[in-house]
A = this chain, B = another copy of it.
């Protein structure tokens, strides 16, 4: 897979990933460690909550999305480095047995004023379940290196 530099990115480009299946055991394991709330911990305790059944922590979905992104065909030079997110939504719950995949769309590309050898790409990442429904959407600004390298300081 070819690395992309700032100059290669254009608004409207779409990248995609493989899929990952999420099981109840993993949902519960993540929740025990990072989000121990009844609706993430067991089918039983989840039944009478807002989610009416076991649902993955939104942060678990975000982490799995990152995994899919790293393994996707979107390979910015220097790595995937998020500067900030402008928006992050979880439109529907992720359930045991769901199979997730992502779609990445380039929204904007701009050079950095202060650092001429890098820039920012605004991307929209949508995480879809096996029914093609969005379970997570975010808009992020990521750091992307330009093709020109920063000159090394001259020795006197």
Contact = CB atoms under 8 A, between A and B. Distances in A.
Given A59-B59, A63-B63, A143-B50, A37 B82 contact: no
B82 A84 contact: no
A88 interface: yes
A85 B87 contact: yes
Interface residues of A, number: 34
Interface in A20-59: 30, 33-39, 49-50, 57-59
A84 B57 CA distance: 13
Interface stretch (A64-72, A98-106, A121-129): A64-72
By DSSP majority rule, is chain A's interface helix, strand, loop, or mixed? Answer: mixed
Copies in the complex: 2
- Most chain-B CB neighbours within 10 Å: which of A57, A81, A143? A81
Given A37-B79, A37-B80, A85-B87, 14 more contacts: A30-B63, A34-B63, A35-B67, A36-B70, A37-B70, A49-B79, A50-B78, A57-B63, A57-B66, A59-B66, A83-B90, A85-B88, A87-B87, A88-B88
Interface string A123-144: 0000000000000000000010
